[in-house]
């Protein structure tokens, strides 16, 4: 959970999230003591509204979280609202395995078969404190940790947490290129080492969950635990419908991740929502994702036919075989490419993918659409084309590409 910074309009929201949300959910679903049900709590920043204000730590963070933090270890990273305050570093004793000059700004900790890597994406500037942690030294440290993690057989998954998003559907002003550099390293690690990864973040006050197209990597905005929500259409926010994200919702809530070790490692992520001030919810399951490390890819699709013998430039519909997966996974995504040659898709003319759902601004834009049909338009009717498709399951494995299929000659209307 993240961004519990006090909202004056809803000052008790974080307290509600801890007591009614986390603890209430544990009591209802786990039937065992808190310290046995939850191993650790991750907080990707903005614990308070102003980290330099002593009383905020007591009244808006420690008092509300006490019923949870007294029994479950808490691992935070600083957000921009901590302002690099000495208070943050006095209140937490964190692992000191980060860079020697920046102890407790970035670090890692293991829990069973998961390595949690915590990072600092802040650049603070106040009258009394100027610091920049968006530096190459942190990236080099991350490279070293990921290299070691790749070689350690007992680690199956990497979870990273940082405050700022690389991409944010609800608040584009909060996006950060430095976070993108971190994400790229995690993506490459997940593919090279066959160890799926997640990066958790905040900064944007709402929930978003997505996946990288070409890597076993998920991205999850776990806010808001108390900060005023970023609604669609509010103010002059930059809001973008990114293909990587399958859901974005302005809501209070937390994310619970259940992890399995052993011969069949997997993790399952669940978003538990408390709704908004306009529509309160009581621990409603709003989203989930289950990823297995050992995952058989879906069956290779086959392009079956086009909708007509002649492809019309304004309505080019292609049909492929149905999605099929031996593990029983559901359809996750489809990726279509069009090229001028069946032997070369290096620079495709069309390179488009879509996920099984796309919940954006309160609507699922994929609802009712077939997963195995795709319409191409705007192609030059005097040219010849070839296309291929691949399918992905919801555990993030892609099938092989279909055998490239030439399109028949196109005729003008």
pLDDT truncated to tens, each residue of the chain (413 aa)?
999 998 888 899 999 999 999 999 999 999 899 999 999 999 999 999 999 999 999 999 999 999 999 999 999 999 999 999 999 999 999 999 999 999 999 999 999 999 999 999 999 766 556 689 999 999 999 999 999 999 999 999 999 999 999 999 999 999 999 999 999 999 999 999 999 999 999 999 999 999 999 999 999 999 999 999 999 998 899 999 999 999 999 999 999 999 999 999 999 999 999 999 999 999 999 999 999 999 999 999 999 876 555 444 445 688 999 999 999 999 999 999 999 999 999 999 999 999 999 999 999 999 999 999 988 777 776 788 999 999 999 999 999 999 999 876 655 54
Q: How many domains does the chain have?
A: 2
Residue 272 lies in a domain: yes
Neighbouring CB atoms inside 10 A of 72's CB total: 17
Residue 104 belongs to what domain range?
Answer: 13-292
- For residues 94 and 223, give the distance between their C-alpha atoms in angstroms, rounded to a whole number: 22
- For residues 144 and 186, give the distance between their C-alpha atoms in angstroms, rounded to a whole number: 12
Q: Do both 319 and 232 map to the same domain?
A: no
Quote the pLDDT of residue 74.
Answer: 98
Quote the pLDDT of residue 71.
Answer: 97
Residue 412 lies in a domain: no
- Token pair 């490279």 is found at 143
292, 324, 352 - which closes a domain:
292
- For residues 332 and 204, give the distance between their C-alpha atoms in angstroms, rounded to a whole number: 25
Q: Do both 217 and 322 map to the same domain?
A: no
Q: Do both 132 and 233 map to the same domain?
A: yes
- For residues 255 and 220, give the distance between their C-alpha atoms in angstroms, rounded to a whole number: 9
Quote the pLDDT of residue 259.
Answer: 98
Quote the pLDDT of residue 390.
Answer: 98
Among 37, 43, 60, which residue's Cα sits nearest to residue 1? 43
Q: Do both 83 and 103 map to the same domain?
A: yes
| Domain at 367, CATH number | 2.60.40.10
Q: Do both 330 and 187 map to the same domain?
A: no
266, 292, 318 - which closes a domain:
292
Q: Do both 59 and 155 map to the same domain?
A: yes
| Domain at 240, CATH number | 3.60.21.10
Contact 44, 200 (CB under 8 A): yes
Q: Do both 274 and 318 map to the same domain?
A: no
Q: Taking each helix axis from N to C terminus, what angle separates 177-193 and 136-151, rounded to the nearest 10 degrees?
A: 20
Q: Do both 247 and 383 map to the same domain?
A: no
Question: What's the pTM?
Answer: 0.95
pLDDT in tens, 179-234: 999 999 999 999 999 999 999 999 999 999 999 999 999 999 999 999 999 999 98
Phi, psi of 193 (to 5 degrees): -105, -5
List b or e across 12-43, with b for residues whose CB sees 16 or more CB atoms inside 10 angstroms.
ebbbbbbeebbbbbbeeeeeeebeebbeebbb
Quote the pLDDT of residue 403.
Answer: 97
Q: Do both 38 and 74 map to the same domain?
A: yes
Among 221, 241, 223, 242, which residue's Cα sits nearest to residue 232? 241
Contact 168, 180 (CB under 8 A): no
Contact 118, 161 (CB under 8 A): yes
Quote the pLDDT of residue 317.
Answer: 81
SS (H, E, C) 173-198: HHCCHHHHHHHHHHHHHHHHHCCCEE
Q: Do both 340 and 247 map to the same domain?
A: no
Residue 319 lies in a domain: yes
Q: Do both 359 and 274 map to the same domain?
A: no
């Amino acid at each position: 959970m993240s961004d519990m910074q006090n909202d004056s309009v809803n000052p008790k929201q974080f307290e509600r999230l801890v007591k009614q949300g986390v603890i209430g959910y544990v009591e209802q679903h786990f039937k065992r003591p808190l310290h046995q049900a939850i191993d650790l709590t991750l907080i990707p920043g903005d614990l308070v509204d102003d980290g330099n204000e002593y009383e905020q730590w007591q009244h808006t963070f420690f008092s509300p979280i006490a019923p949870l933090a007294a029994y479950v270890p808490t691992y935070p990273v600083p957000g921009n609202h901590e302002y690099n305050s000495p208070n943050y570093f006095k209140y937490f004793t964190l692992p000191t395995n980060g860079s020697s000059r920046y102890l407790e700004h970035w670090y890692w900790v293991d829990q069973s078969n998961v390595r949690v890597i915590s990072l600092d994406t802040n650049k603070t500037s106040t009258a009394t404190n100027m610091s920049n942690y968006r530096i190459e030294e942190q990236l080099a440290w991350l490279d070293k940790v990921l290299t070691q993690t790749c070689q350690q057989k007992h680690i199956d998954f990497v979870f990273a947490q940082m405050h700022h998003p690389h991409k944010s559907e609800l608040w584009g002003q909060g996006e950060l290129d430095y976070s993108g550099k971190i994400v790229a390293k995690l993506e490459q690690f997940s593919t090279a080492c066959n160890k799926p990864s997640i990066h958790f973040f905040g900064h944007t006050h709402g929930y978003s969950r997505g996946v990288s197209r070409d890597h076993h990597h998920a991205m999850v905005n776990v806010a808001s635990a108390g900060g005023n929500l970023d609604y669609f259409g509010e103010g002059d926010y930059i809001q973008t419908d990114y293909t990587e994200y399958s859901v974005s919702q302005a809501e209070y809530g937390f994310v619970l991740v259940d992890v399995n070790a052993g011969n069949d490692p997997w993790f399952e992520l669940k978003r538990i929502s408390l709704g908004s001030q306009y529509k309160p919810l009581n621990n409603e399951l709003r989203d989930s994702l289950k990823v297995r490390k050992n995952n058989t890819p879906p069956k290779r699709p086959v392009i079956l036919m086009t909708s007509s013998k002649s492809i019309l430039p304004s309505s080019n519909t292609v049909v492929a075989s149905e999605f099929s997966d031996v593990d029983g996974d559901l359809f996750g995504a489809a990726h279509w490419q069009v090229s001028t040659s069946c032997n070369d898709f290096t620079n495709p003319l069309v390179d488009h993918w879509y996920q099984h759902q796309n919940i954006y601004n309160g609507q699922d834009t994929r609802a009712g659409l077939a997963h195995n049909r795709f319409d191409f338009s705007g192609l030059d009717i005097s040219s010849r084309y070839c296309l291929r498709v691949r399918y992905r399951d919801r555990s993030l494995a892609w099938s092989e590409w279909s055998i490239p299929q030439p399109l028949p000659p196109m005729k003008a209307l």
